[in-house]
Amino acid sequence: MALCRGAGLLLRTLLPGNPLLFPAVCRAQSSVSGVLVPRTSLTSPPWPEQLPPVCEAEDARRQAAVVSTVNGSIERQDYGRLFAVVHFASRQWKVTGEDLILIENHLEAGCGETIRLEKVLLVGAEDFTLVGRPLLGRDLVRVEATVIEKTESWPKVHMRFWKRHRYQRKMIIVQPQTVLRINSIELAPRLS
């Protein structure tokens, strides 16, 4: 974005920095001198020439600091409202406390029974997010839901028609549905 702005400004005023950093021509090969080639999108590879250096000690220190902060706020329970991404009924749902989910199939649980949704992919609060790879541990998060309603969908019409061939088929599809209310999402302080 900064590059586009710089290129646009060059038409009006002369910016000292840009022509020196990104010259319009470059050498074809470093071994052959005097052969200049215009700079295109394929002049240099798309990865950066110099990668930022890796300092493992500093990375480890930063990670330990982050983990201890997050662990502390989990232990003190001062995170506010939690949201979780849960894999259930072959779909992923972004879920908070007190919200309703409509599942388009039949569950074995009866109405009023509590269910624990185990496959949690991500949990987030205001100040931190826990991203599972791909799932978070079962002893780290607990998502509980109640089955509120078990009903059927409205009758959907599946119609096939082939014109000028006297072919039409009409089928009415009624699918069982379940409504779940998410009761709570709880975190346990156990990060490393």
Partner 1 sequence: MVFLSLSCWIRSRGPDRYWKVQDIVKNAKHFRGRKNRCYKLAVKAVRRAFVYATKGRRLKKRYMRTLWISRIAAASREHGMKYPVLMHNLTKSSVQLNRRVISDLAITEPRSFLSLAKVARARQQEGFRAALGDGKEPVGVFSRVVLLQ
Q: Does 47 bind partner 1 (CB under 8 A)?
A: yes
Among 57, 134, 167, 192, binds partner 1 (CB under 8 A): 134
| 84 in Cβ contact with 95 (< 8 Å) | yes
Nearest to 79, CA basis, from 44, 120, 127: 127
User: Which residue, 191, 189, 172, is CA-closest to 75?
Assistant: 189
Say whether the peptide bond before residue 134 is cis (omega within 30 degrees of 0).
yes
- Region near partner 1 per CB under 8 A, out of 10-18, 74-82, 102-110, 155-163: 155-163
CA-based Rg of the chain, rounded to a whole angstrom? Answer: 29
Using rule CB under 8 A, residue 44 touches partner 1: no
79, β-bridge pairs: none
Paired sense of beta strands 91-96 and 83-88, if any? antiparallel
Single residue of 21, 57, 157, 165 touching partner 1 by CB under 8 A: 157
166 binds partner 1 (CB under 8 A): no
Smallest gap from Cβ 71 to partner 1, in A, equals 17
Point out which span in 32-40, 70-78, 118-126, 142-150 binds partner 1 (CB under 8 A).
118-126
Residue 167 token pair:
């072919």
d(CA 55, CA 74): 29
Asked if residue 54 binds partner 1 (CB under 8 A), the reply is: yes
Nearer to partner 1, 68 or 92 (CB): 92
Out of 70, 101, 122, 182, which residue is the one contacting partner 1 (CB under 8 A)?
A: 122
What the block records as the tokens of 80 is: 């506010």
| DSSP letter assigned to residue 52 | P
Q: Cβ 87 to partner 1, closest distance in Å?
A: 8
Pick from 132, 148, 183, 191 the residue near partner 1 by CB under 8 A.
132
Q: Identify residues 74-103 at the interface with partner 1 (CB under 8 A).
A: 83, 85, 92-94
Q: What single DSSP character describes residue 49?
A: S
Binding residues for partner 1 (CB under 8 A): 31, 47-48, 51-52, 54, 83, 85, 92-94, 121-122, 124, 126, 129, 131-134, 156-161, 168, 170
